[in-house]
Structure 1
Amino acid sequence: MVHQKLTFKQQMDGFPWAQLMVVSLVRFSEPIAFSSLFPYVYFMVKDFKIAPNDAQVSKYSGYLSSSFALCQVISAYHWGRFSETHGRKITLTCGLIGTSISLLILGFSHNFYQALVARSLMGLLNGNVGVIRTIIGEIATERKHQALAFSTMPLLFQFGAVIGPMIGGFLVFRDGTMNEVPSWFPRCAKKIIKSYPYALPNVVVCIFLMFGLINAILFLEETHPVFKNKRDYGLDLGDSIKKSIFGIQPKRRPWQKYIHGNSEDSHHRDEEINANEVQVHSEDERSPLLDHSNESEAESVQSIDPILTRRQSVSLIRTYSLHEPTDAVHTDIVTASDGCKESSIFHHVFHTKVFYPISVNFIMALHLIVYNEFLPVFLAYDLAVDPENPKKLASKFPWKISGGIGYEPEQTGTLLSTTGIFGCFVVIFIFPVVDRNFDCLTIFRTLVKLYPIMYIMVPYVIFLQGERVPSWCTVTYLYIITGIKTFCGALTSPQIMLLIHNSSPLSCRSVINGATISISASARFIGPLAWGYIMSWSQEHDVAWVSWWSLSLFCMVALYQSYKIAPIDDIEEEDNQQDGENTNGSRSEASGVRMSHRSSLSSLSNQSRTK
């Protein structure tokens, strides 16, 4: 199917800006917490004196990252279940509080093992990434809005990638470095910083997290179909703030119709209820929609099929439904061909069309976390020089590569922050144009091909450290590499999320998102753990290129897997064909289901008109 090209105005028509902005402010603080560690993790591990030599520092840095990811593997699926049982909003608030606690423990750690516990708690107490994906999918129900809505995830990560490394790079004041504690700092603050040089960036990040927490409590609407109509006292307080301080008239909440007001309001509600009853009664008398014996009317209902796709029908149901326990029709429990129940998460993740997007997401998560964690570590290694001639490099082109380029935390923080700004530009200005003109699989497959080139280039920055090479060449070279990575990540991340979202069954989409986060977290556990050993080994044997070239191979596997993913339009066509086959096979049963749905939509639309 040809990708439909929309104008920007058409794509933005009806876009859910308000709630996406609230979700964005909640999500914004977490990438800051995640990326603020990168500039100083090498120096933190080195100061803990746990590594026997500098070459082993990357291995212990990998332990810190892997412990976080391993705990995410354990907890992400359960946080997804928790959000299904108790709601999305309470899950997000618990995650923000848990992250704040773990950051404070990390900042005030005395040794490596305390830092390890802090990073583990950060993974256990936060499952917000999968929950936010589900919220975005429940907010943006129209296909034309979904890609742009899901692009807020990498956009917010890019914003976090701007601020986080700046906080981690410029607020760490270690002895013997270029960073000195400003003279205007209070004496007590200077004393704390001297004892805990890594505490200040974590305290600042906690302030961002508290801002996100307050925003979530006051302004975030529950999107879970079961809980979204229950009274939310935090949202009531937020509505009062909007009205009294900002002069914004809040919309009427679902639970407010049950609150008793004055006699005039009660009389008005009674008139509404009577009008509802009359309208429904008259419709029952005149409308044959519930008459299953009339075959011609059933045919007329079935004639709707070519007009509305399944996804459009679901959007219509979501628009008018006041109580939506699930978007899918309940059916009897059936055993699939793989021996699992069709409703089981194992069947959906490993034996349906969602498997390939999840597997590609696993590989992408693995090599991207390795890059994010170990590029600062690689750059922080001291420059290896020839012992006999200190003016020459110990590395020999092309196979003998050892050491790094001696970057300080503030230099790495500047590099990551400025490329994060470029990523924001890509998501805001380039992504909408690309998304309107190309389908998501084409975008993904094209850009994944650039990752192997980038990883092959990384270790050869060593050879730009000679005396005859200007220093700006190193800066330009690093900005080209990180720019390619940022460009590709900003455009491919929303595409793979959208593919997973649209390939998932509606009835268990939140659970699949939680399982996806667990699987991605397992990649973030395996990646740093394995590459920590690989990088340490390659540094000891003067073959630093091995760790980076191996990432190129993983990118090629992701590219191969992407050609097994079905385009979104093909998924919709397949679903529609299956619906058509089911209709032809059991006309009377399908007619009954459609009749009941039509009746339900009719009555619900009547309710909405009387409000």
Structure 2
Amino acid sequence: MVHKTLTFKEQMNGFPWRQLLAVSIVRVSEPIAFTSLFPYVYFMVKDFHIAPDDAQVSKYSGYLSSSFALCQVLSAYYWGSFSERHGRKLALILGLMGSIVSLLILGFSRNFYQAMLARILMGLLNGNVGVIRTMIGEIATERRHQALAFSTMPLLFQLGSIIGLMIGGYLVFRPTGSSGDYIPKWVPHCLKAVVRSYPYALPNLVVTSFLFIGLVNAALFLEETHPVKKLRRDYGVELGDYIRTKIFGLKPILRPWQRHEDTDSVGTTAEVEPTAESMTTEPTETSQLLQDDNSSCDSIPSIPHTLTRRQSIALIRTYSSYEPTDLNKSERISADDGCSELSIWHHVFHTKVFYPISVNFIMSLHLTVYSEFLPVFLAYDLEKDPQNPHQLASKFPWKISGGISYLPQQTGTLLSTTGIFGVFVVIFIFPIVDRKFDCLKIFRSLVLLYPIIYVMVPYVIFLQQENIPKWWTSVYLYFITGTKTLCGALTFPQIMLLIHNSSPLSCRAVINGATISISAAARFIGPLIWGFLISWSEEKDVAWVSWWSLGLICMIALYQSYKIEPLNDYEDITVEREDQTSRQFSHKLRRSSLNSLANRR
């Protein structure tokens, strides 16, 4: 397959920056809320005194993560359906409000069950990831823009993770046993009493402030992208336009409902003179539908060349009397699997979109386990040999027990700084890689690095010997987390793009919702199973078992990736000239058809 290469200027021509910025502000608040728990979840569970011993902390940490993911499994599909019925914007606003309530409950939890209730509510009341993914596809409609637009998802996740991990790592203050005040002086005096009573309230209060900013941004500046709902009046956007015009002095934007009102005020009897410009642009509500030119042809004009895909679609839309979604239930055709060809079950499990979704499931599973249990593994106490305190209890290569006694601040620094590297990768490296290489080749090459990462993780313990400098541990961990960040930043946009372009337009939002539900199932299964597995491996002094098993999971994803159909970039990636030609062709066909109808009458 020929991969057509565009210059950066051609690729960015007409890129929808303004709306993607509004969506990005909403999106970045989601990983802040999601990842802020990771640095302190071990200590939070330990302070609840529900685990009988430290080795069981992983199991109860997995319960917190799995309860959140299980509720996402149950709710994400319905949030996708809700956005189809009521619009994307309303779904995002309600999801942000649900997250705010959930985080406040989590921060002020007194026991493990209150914390689990908070995580359950967070999973039930927020389906924004799937809705945002659909919105990005509706904003970036051209293939040349889609890769960069979808790359904002991992970019914003990396950026939000940096902020969330730093908040969770640096704003948790627990008694250390010393007689002095363990709360820093920079913490406001009015909050010190709250921090003493609720050590985990401060990071959640800060995170809710980010969510509130995202909520205000969504209400005022985010435009509806639903093909039908975007035509209804949005008072929030009108208030945002007033702020943009009066305060920032920006030029006002004519909204779809305002254009409709202007057309109604002119009246239906107003005549519009045909001009050369109107003959080369798409018809509007004021365009003259029937021409009096008797020289027009009686039917479809002759086509002297082979149609491109865009021109074919324009021809079908021009002369088709109904869309597939207009069929009655009795008229819908059954597929080979016995399901209706328009059913979500058929599209998810029996079409080409199945393999990208299954790969996304496996990727979500092992990356969630890594992100949530690496801090737990590092926080375990360093085990020393009872017979010789200067030696480790672990024996290379098979006996591995304990951790390296990392504090929340150290874990937060490790994960947030590698997150900064991920932002750099998405901004500067991903666009170059996307323009020059096929997305499936990128994915298949980088998936091979994950097993190496997971094999290396447990052996960081052997760097804790007294004769090895401490900075070796930092280099080792930064190499592992940096490589994992590089792989995630370059592979996740490709999988999302493959899912988006493999989905039929008629049920793309529902498929994205189903994809989020399936990914949430991975985030439910992963922490639940590996929580038990890590606890068991710690008790049996074989910590490598839990991490090596993640490497095997990655090999399954690699096998599934060879069943994914590649994108036809040569056909889809075009420059502005071809887009304009296709619009003119569609417009010519439409006007010719209407003239023919008038002549017959």
Corresponding position of 1:556? 555
TM-score (norm 1): 0.88
* Aligned AA (1:282): Q
Contact 1:172 1:201 in 2 (8 A): yes
In structure 1, stretches of 5+ residues that fail to align are: 574-593, 604-611
Residue 597 to residue 68, structure 1, CA distance change in 2 (3 Å): farther
- What does 1:198-277 align with in structure 2 at a 5 Å threshold? 198-259=200-261, 266=265, 271=270
Corresponding position of 1:337? 336
What SS does the corresponding residue of 1:556 show, helix, strand or coil?
helix
- What does 1:58-207 align with in structure 2 at a 5 Å threshold? 58-176=58-176, 180-207=182-209
Asked if residue 281 in structure 1 is aligned to residue 281 in structure 2, the reply is no
1:3: how far off?
Answer: 1.0
- What does 1:346-357 align with in structure 2 at a 5 Å threshold? 346-357=345-356
1:595: how far off?
Answer: 9.5
Residue 108 to residue 354, structure 1, CA distance change in 2 (3 Å): same
Contact 1:326 1:507 in 2 (8 A): no
1:281: how far off?
Answer: 2.3
Q: Deviations over 1:141-194 (max 9, x none)?
A: 111111000000000001011111100000001111799322243443111100
1:426: how far off?
Answer: 0.2
Count of aligned pairs = 565
Q: What's the Cα RMSD here? A: 2.7
1:528: how far off?
Answer: 0.1
Q: Deviations over 1:227-283 (max 9, x none)?
A: 11110000000000010011101220111134479xxx9559964668777832216
Contact 2:454 2:551 in 1 (8 A): yes
In the alignment, the residues of structure 2 paired with residue 597 and residue 557 of structure 1 have an alpha-carbon distance, to the nearest angstrom, of: 50
Contact 2:166 2:416 in 1 (8 A): yes
* Aligned AA (1:87): G
Contact 1:25 1:212 in 2 (8 A): yes
1:569: how far off?
Answer: 1.1
In the alignment, the residues of structure 2 paired with residue 283 and residue 228 of structure 1 have an alpha-carbon distance, to the nearest angstrom, of: 35
- What does 1:393-542 align with in structure 2 at a 5 Å threshold? 393-542=392-541
* Aligned AA (1:529): L
1:309: how far off?
Answer: 1.4
Contact 2:455 2:547 in 1 (8 A): yes
Contact 2:452 2:551 in 1 (8 A): yes
Corresponding position of 1:9? 9
* Aligned AA (1:208): F
* Aligned AA (1:196): Y
- Larger CA deviation: 186-195 vs 25-34: 186-195
Q: Deviations over 1:123-143 (max 9, x none)?
A: 000000011010000011111
Q: What is the percentage of aligned positions where both structures have the same residue? A: 69
Contact 2:4 2:570 in 1 (8 A): no
In the alignment, the residues of structure 2 paired with residue 316 and residue 382 of structure 1 have an alpha-carbon distance, to the nearest angstrom, of: 68
Corresponding position of 1:609? none
In the alignment, the residues of structure 1 paired with residue 465 and residue 150 of structure 2 have an alpha-carbon distance, to the nearest angstrom, of: 44
* Aligned AA (2:435): R
Residue 278 to residue 202, structure 1, CA distance change in 2 (3 Å): closer
Corresponding position of 1:27? 27
Contact 2:379 2:407 in 1 (8 A): yes
Contact 1:48 1:111 in 2 (8 A): yes
In the alignment, the residues of structure 1 paired with residue 552 and residue 309 of structure 2 have an alpha-carbon distance, to the nearest angstrom, of: 40
- What does 1:35-74 align with in structure 2 at a 5 Å threshold? 35-74=35-74
In the alignment, the residues of structure 1 paired with residue 100 and residue 36 of structure 2 have an alpha-carbon distance, to the nearest angstrom, of: 13
Corresponding position of 1:585? none
Residue 569 to residue 540, structure 1, CA distance change in 2 (3 Å): same
* Aligned AA (2:291): S
Corresponding position of 1:599? 590
In the alignment, the residues of structure 2 paired with residue 253 and residue 316 of structure 1 have an alpha-carbon distance, to the nearest angstrom, of: 28
Corresponding position of 2:387? 388
In the alignment, the residues of structure 1 paired with residue 551 and residue 228 of structure 2 have an alpha-carbon distance, to the nearest angstrom, of: 45
- What does 1:585-596 align with in structure 2 at a 5 Å threshold? none
Contact 2:3 2:570 in 1 (8 A): no
1:439: how far off?
Answer: 1.2
Q: Deviations over 1:540-593 (max 9, x none)?
A: 0000000000000000000000000000118979xxxxxxxxxxxxxxxxxxxx
In the alignment, the residues of structure 1 paired with residue 457 and residue 185 of structure 2 have an alpha-carbon distance, to the nearest angstrom, of: 38
* Aligned AA (1:17): W
In the alignment, the residues of structure 1 paired with residue 444 and residue 87 of structure 2 have an alpha-carbon distance, to the nearest angstrom, of: 36
* Aligned AA (1:32): I
Contact 1:314 1:327 in 2 (8 A): no
TM-score (norm 2): 0.89
1:599: how far off?
Answer: 2.3
In the alignment, the residues of structure 1 paired with residue 59 and residue 255 of structure 2 have an alpha-carbon distance, to the nearest angstrom, of: 53
Residue 58 to residue 490, structure 1, CA distance change in 2 (3 Å): same
What SS does the corresponding residue of 2:63 show, helix, strand or coil?
helix
Residue 514 to residue 602, structure 1, CA distance change in 2 (3 Å): farther
Residue 395 to residue 600, structure 1, CA distance change in 2 (3 Å): farther
- Larger CA deviation: 112-121 vs 188-197: 188-197
